[in-house]
Copies of this chain bind each other. A is one copy, B any other.
């Protein structure tokens, strides 16, 4: 079993980006984060993204709005960032308050500045296998982990557990594309799937993105499968001062010995998501400079 060290791979990616950014002529990339309200997880995610950006020479600006902001007001803020030539990337931190339609917001971000990759144009270009599309950060991070761990995907059976817009669908589509990594035979499973273990046992590579703590057990995978665990779930743990600990969608202790590769939680996919956001920001900067 090879443990895939997401922190180490993310740090390689960031080092490579820093070298490219240091050598840029014509200004620095700038990303703007929009946070609505003070949800502790959102505060912490955005802080992490901001700190990482600054550490590699990307300007990161934070705009915080009250929970009471209307959708119309938010769209106007995005309009002004879309038009601002000093801004290259725009990220609206999810989840959004329930009175705001998140897809409408994602689709309002200029496709050229959509470093989160949630805009319909970028999702569509991903289906079209267009190289200039922004790939959403978690799927892009998963592909980077797979590639840098030398896991073969061509002709392999990939099973994606979960069909979310943020992770499941784009990850599966990327692994289906005619690319490296890619060319996999991809199956999408979800809550409506019958006899799930029979399907997951066919996987050479299993992507678990279902949001259920320790859902994937040893009986559900075949020996030698590579497992990418996208879940981040809090479970009760009285031995911790906080009273909880983080676990993935995979029962790590039980599953790991059967795998060829596995990502831990935390320290697997999580750090990659942040690193790929930086990759996308540099890409946005370079593409906008060209135009």
Binding site for B on A (CB under 8 A): 103, 107, 119-125, 127-130, 154-157, 163, 165, 169-170, 172-173, 176, 183-190, 192-194, 199
Number of copies of this chain that the complex holds: 2
- The docked-state distance in angstroms from the alpha carbon of A176 to that of B192 is 10
Q: Which of B120, B154, B156, B176 touches A128 (beta carbons < 8 Å)? A: B120
CB-defined contacts of A124 to chain B, threshold 8 Å: 119-125, 127
B190 touches A187 (CB 8 A): no
Please give 17 more A-B residue pairs, beta carbons under 8 A apart, in addition to A127-B127, A185-B187, A186-B188: A119-B124, A120-B120, A120-B121, A120-B122, A120-B125, A120-B128, A120-B130, A123-B123, A123-B128, A128-B165, A156-B194, A163-B176, A169-B173, A185-B189, A185-B190, A185-B194, A187-B188
B186 touches A192 (CB 8 A): no
- The docked-state distance in angstroms from the alpha carbon of A64 to that of B125 is 28
CB-defined contacts of A130 to chain B, threshold 8 Å: 103, 120
Please list 21 pairs of residues, one from A and one from B, whose beta carbons are closer than 8 Å in the complex, sorted by A's number. A119-B124, A120-B120, A120-B122, A120-B124, A120-B127, A120-B128, A122-B124, A123-B123, A124-B124, A127-B127, A127-B170, A155-B193, A155-B194, A156-B194, A169-B173, A176-B188, A185-B187, A185-B190, A185-B193, A185-B194, A186-B188
Q: Which of A107, A120, A183, A192 has the most CB of B within 10 A?
A: A120
Give, as a whole number of angstroms, the nearest-CB distance from A236 to chain B. Answer: 31
